[in-house]
Amino acid sequence: MDVHLVSTNPATGQRQSHHPQHTDAEVELILGRAHHSFRAWRKVSLRERANTVRKLATALRARANDLAHVAAVEMGKPITQGKAEVEKCALCCDQQADIAPALLADHPIPTEARRSFVAFEPLGVVLAIMPWNFPFWQVVRAAVPAILAGNAVVLKHASNVTRCALALEDVFLNAELPTGVFCVLRLDSSRIPTVITHPAVQAVTLTGSTPAGRDVAAIAGAALRKTVLELGGNDAYVVLGDADIPHAARICAQARLVNGGQSCIAAKRFIVVESVRNEFEELLLKEFAAVRLGDPLDPSTTLGPLARADLRTELHSQVTRAISAGASCLTGGRIPEGPGFFYPPTILTDVTPGMSVFEEETFGPVASVISATSENEAIDLANRSRFGLGAALFTSNSERGAEIAARRLEAGNCFVNSGVRSDPRLPFGGIRDSGWGRELGAFGLREFVNTKTVYVA
């Protein structure tokens, strides 16, 4: 086992920092402190918890520039996108703090009893296993609802964004959250099983790959730990013949390229009715051509590097395998020379089922265009996936679009004439190989609670 967690600047390929892993004894102390803090935190009133989370929102906004800089040099996020991510975290804190006191209060249910109600009680210590791609947002959206419900949260972040994890821990402490209610474990993935099964840990939330989700689900299931799993996606964006094509192309480009395409909820497969395919491809090419690939610390950069060298290697393999299988490359598709882990905006067309980019999750700036002869075929192709995180539909008939999104597209999040995204006000999660459980909104607030029936005769 490497005793250090290494951070590499993806724009240069240079190692920039390393952090010692916690020893087994330190892990025991941290989990013990988290459990002790939970016992006190659960007794704090809902309103006081909400006020503390509002202070967290203020602290996040005050540190936005610093946090965005750390994300830029540690995982390659363009600085402007990093600031937007921190602001989204602050908005989540404000919104969840606003709704928590009412949604977590005792809920009366009339029966023949003198009094009967449902109480929402915290579970204990929640282990949050989080990825590198949104190093602040993924953590906040998982941790804040759990903390508002009275739980403590222990973060095991991705090893390559340890500086982001420690910076976020500092923000939580500066927001006057009691010590131990939110804390960081510096561990590599091989040591996660012993934390999941630790007596202090009562639940696990994971955002990550489908294989990681299966591993965590197996360990947590054997230990009877509650889980929320937000896993991979291969989101389909369906463009019907009556769609506003310039609007669709603009939104599709944004949804594919945001965060360098490194998002489970990013657009990946563009399924276009044949009658509008040529127009869509021409406009998508223009949108991709306008992207500025470069230094993530430069405010004018809109597309930074991929986060790691191995991720670029895998993405390029998916592209080359698709081309070998018959796909055509309209732009990009070649690894640029020079330092860092950059990959150009790439559009593949003539993509069909069975190709790598149709079947697999592509984590990078690669768009796959699939032709459909009709609306029905387009929807069938969208649903032909083992994943089920997000889907979008473009049509001028918004009522029909809503009906298709609600009844025919198979995913946890279906958007009409808009890119799929997470929103603190709405539940977020997937089906099938994209996981289970929900984050955010009222449903996320009640994921890590004991929904307790109280009956007074």
Which residues are known catalytic residues? Answer: 230, 264
The DSSP bridge pattern shows strands 125-130 and 201-207 to be parallel
Q: Extract the tokens encoding 99.
A: 């709704």
Sorted by sequence, the CB contacts under 8 Å of residue 384 that are 6+ apart come out as 353
Question: SS3 for 279-317, per residue?
Answer: HHHHHHHHHHHCCCECCCCCCCCCECCCCCHHHHHHHHH
End-to-end CA distance of the chain: 58
Give which of 150, 73, 65 is closest to 105, Cα–Cα: 150
Sorted by sequence, the CB contacts under 8 Å of residue 109 that are 6+ apart come out as 116, 117, 118
DSSP 121-144: EE-SEEEEEE-SSSTTHHHHHHHH
CA–CA distance from 160 to each of 140, 149, 164, 307, 384 (Å)? 18, 30, 9, 9, 33
Helix H or strand E segment including 366: strand 366-372
Contact 136, 85 (CB under 8 A): yes
Sorted by sequence, the CB contacts under 8 Å of residue 363 that are 6+ apart come out as 133, 261, 262, 263, 306, 311, 314, 315
Sign of CA dihedral 411, 413, 418, 420: negative
| Three-class SS state of 104 | coil
Distance CA 443, CA 424 (A): 11
CA–CA distance from 452 to each of 104, 119, 121, 439 (Å)? 12, 5, 7, 20
The size of the chain, in residues, is 457
Distance CA 294, CA 377 (A): 39
Q: Kindly report the number of other CB atoms within 10 A of residue 434's CB atom.
A: 28
The DSSP bridge pattern shows strands 366-372 and 182-184 to be unpaired
Distance CA 88, CA 57 (A): 10
Exposed / middle / buried, residue 87 (Cβ in 10 Å: 0-12, 13-18, 19+): middle
